[in-house]
Amino acid sequence: MSLSREEYEKIFDFISRIGGKGSSVTSIYEQLRGINSLGTHPTMPPVREQFGLTFFTRPRLNLTDGNLRAFRPFFSMIGGADGISLPRAIRAMLDPVGVWRDGKGSPLANHEQAFIPWLSNGLVSQSGWQEIAPGTFTSVEGNHHEAWSMIDDTIKNYRVWDLNTTLRNGTGNIIIMMLFVWVCYASLVYEGDMVPYMDSIIQNRIDYHSRIYRFSLDANKRRITSWWSTIAYPYVAPTATGANMSLDSPFNQEGQQISVNWKCHGLDTFDPIVFTEFNNIVASFNANMHPALRDKNMVQINEDLWHLFTYDTYFWIDPEEQTMQRWVSREVYEERLGDSRIAWSSRFAKGALTPMAYNGQNPSRIIVPGNTPTTGTVV
């Protein structure tokens, strides 16, 4: 006797129930809705998240020729008319105003990208993010040690705190050199040897600050599960590692990973306004990502094609779905998919790159409530 798929699933569901584990189809729903009266081992899968993505917005340093001449180590950023040099790329990355106004760009820096790819791609670890931990008050104990306690502090975090990051340094010491320019500029502005752009002076704006966005994603790298945001600046340029030496090794490997400390101001945790702020900064650098132009000039790519546009992606957050969308320019999309070899090979890469979780179950197919997958709802 052959059974249909629905009949098999009903049998397994019945076996799961008589074993005290509830329905195999709606186990997650049932454990959220009610208490396990038998005290058996829970069948709800544990949290499984991707570490996600970290974005560092570009600062707004004034790296015009006149400013650069105030400090000899910055002279190398003045030359390189063709832009194909690391000093010129650093200048273009840290001074987006100069790129737009004077055309001081570089093919090594994407001028439509709001964030610094070198930091996001090179990030190995980070620690120091602040917990939500308001202060408490506890009364004086009575004769029988009776006491009471309450929260008497704000959860709003406007403090100054340190964030520690470890970065993988790339060829040419590009991250170390960028941090050297970043930190030195801030100090030279303090001394008065260099000056910010005039609008920064008028608005009393500290132009070397960066906004750090931190997003944890689900196992499919699509849905945002947790998010944080802070304003920060680096205050240490790890330039000393290159001077270390040891005869035990022919190569200096200390500079392969560097520690960078950031001085942070305040913290937004799980605040949905972060999504709006993130989208605004994306659209301010790439006008085609503005909602009025995006569907015409850009293409949203799904998970099957992420691997084809790894470094061409612009991110956008859907605040209602809390999903991290990936977009590429329509020109790049049509050009790349027009290559028959790429289009053909992408079919075979799909299965290898689709993330799976929860003991082999695709987390995008969680059934709630219903007796079978055909009557349940896929979320």
User: Which residues contact residue 267 at a Cβ distance below 8 angstroms, ignoring those fewer than 6 apart?
Assistant: 129, 130, 157, 159, 161, 228, 229, 230
Read out DSSP for 131-193?
A: P----EEEPPP-TT----EEE-S---EEEEEEEEEEEE--TTSHHHHHHHHHHHHHHHHHHTS
pLDDT tens for 101-151 read 887 788 889 999 999 999 999 999 999 999 999 999 999 999 999 999 999
Answer whether residue 343 shows pLDDT above 90: no
User: pLDDT class for 257, splitting at 50, 70, 90?
Assistant: confident
Phi, psi of 111 (to 5 degrees): -75, -15
Is pTM, for the whole model, over 0.85? no
Low-confidence winner among 39-48, 122-131, 209-218, 300-309 (lowest mean pLDDT): 39-48
Pairwise CA distance, residues 184 & 193, whole Å:
11
